[in-house]
Amino acid sequence: MENKIPLSIIMQHIASGGKEYSGEAKTWVEESEANKKTFDDLSLIWKLTGKFPERYTPNKDLAWSKIKGRIKQPKPKFNLYRRVAQIAAAVLVAALCVWSGAEFKDAFNQPRYTEVISLAGQKTKVMLPDSSVVQLNGNSQLRYSSDFSKADREVELKGEAYFDVTKDKHHRFVVHAGDLDVKVYGTSFNVKAYDTDALIEVGLKHGSVALEKNNSEVLRLVPGQLAKYDAAKDKVNVSEVDIDLVSAWTRNEMIIEELPLQEIILYLERWYGVQIKASPELLDGELFTFKVKTESLHEVIEMLSVLKPIKYNIDGELVTLSNK
């Protein structure tokens, strides 16, 4: 399957002398001879001119046809002149190359992004450029630009994270989570916004946060409140909760309170880095309450089987649940 790597990434790799995006560039070059030829052409252009063209097509014959007559053929009297003419021709070819189907205007003026990925079964702590600390739960991603803190401090979240934001009254901190934007100046809060979940949840520990959608404020939270936003219904439900329970995962605890098995499965998949398949008859809406800290996946499912007649099989990263 073709790997859709933006050509701006390849250009940045070349411009950095191979220091940036080396893995992506290697994968892209190895995909096809056409990619390899394009890479070689771009490398030559960068070497000769120190910049990239806005448009390019890998057709040297076309480029040569455009410059014929523009280069005065040197008399064969001096080999030095011939060499100068060859270099000039190469530079003109580079300058006249035209990319078909892709434009790269101001490619290097665009901000670069840092993306931190916390795999399923792992937890990752990140310190942002402003010294704010973010803890990522399993199967989560955090993305921010090189312009972070120059204007508003903005991050994009997919998954779950706990934020301890450094106070800065001049620069708001904004978390883009699905359809919602969480805006603060300095506070501690938890955001859960997995693509596979129906709800986006924001729980506030300290300070004050505003939830916005399409640049319009939906509501403000005070400490101890948990907002659950249903994007399908465009509705928000706010309740008073113990935020320490919501953020228990940051202390390596998973606290389940009155949740059905289908939701517990999602927690277990992210916690242990596995895939769980359950028979439909098990997903009957029955609610469970328990706490997990150091228990293994086997021990947790054994505990569940005491609460509900469950037969299970663990095969590597695949777990199958069925009625006993």
Q: What is the DSSP string of 41-95?
A: HHHHHHHHHSS--SSB-S-HHHHHHHHTTTSPPPPTT-HHHHHHHHHHHHHHHHH
On whether the CB atoms of residues 176 and 195 are closer than 8 A, the answer is no
Would you state the torsion angle of the CA atoms of residues 303, 307, 308, 312, taken in this order, to the nearest 10 degrees? 0
Cα 315–chain centre separation: 29
* Contacts of the segment 110-113: beta carbons below 8 A, 24+ positions apart: 110/8, 111/145, 111/146, 111/147, 112/12, 112/145, 112/146, 113/143, 113/144, 113/145, 113/146
d(CA 195, CA 198): 8
Virtual torsion, Cα 273, 278, 282, 283, nearest 10 deg: 70
Terminal CA-CA length for the chain = 41
Quick one: how many helices (H) and strands (E) in the chain? Answer: 8, 18
What angle separates helix 33-49 from helix 7-15, to the nearest 10 degrees? Answer: 50
Give the model's pLDDT for residue 48.
Answer: 60
The CATH number corresponding to 253-323 among 3.55.50.30, 3.90.79.10, 3.20.20.70, 3.40.190.170 equals 3.55.50.30
At residue 64, the pLDDT reads 47
- 85's tokens: 């003419």
Q: What is the pLDDT of residue 54?
A: 53
Residue 38, classed as helix, strand or coil, is helix
Q: Where does CATH 2.60.120.1440 sit in the chain?
A: 113-245
Sign of the C-alpha dihedral computed for residues 280, 281, 286 and 291 taken in this order? negative
Nearest to 10 by CA among 34, 35, 47: 35
Burial class (CB in 10 A: 0-12, 13-18, 19+), 170: exposed
| Secondary structure class of 258 (helix, strand, coil) | strand
- Domain range 113-245, CATH architecture: Sandwich (2.60)
pLDDT tens, N- to C-terminus, the chain (324 residues): 445 566 778 887 888 778 777 888 888 888 888 888 888 878 877 666 666 665 554 554 544 454 444 444 444 444 444 444 444 444 444 444 444 444 454 555 566 888 999 988 889 999 998 889 999 999 999 999 878 877 779 999 999 999 999 988 888 899 999 999 999 977 999 999 999 899 999 999 999 999 999 888 989 999 999 999 998 999 999 999 999 999 999 999 999 888 999 999 999 999 999 999 999 999 998 999 988 888 889 999 988 888 888 999 999 889 999 988
Local structure of 249: helix, strand or coil: helix
Measured torsion, CA atoms of residues 81, 84, 90, 93, in degrees rounded to the nearest 10:
-70
CB atoms within 10 A of CB 154: 19
Do residues 308 and 261 lie in contact, with contact meaning Cβ atoms separated by under 8 Å? yes
What is this structure's pTM? 0.63
User: Which residues make up the CATH 3.55.50.30 domain(s) of the chain?
Assistant: 253-323
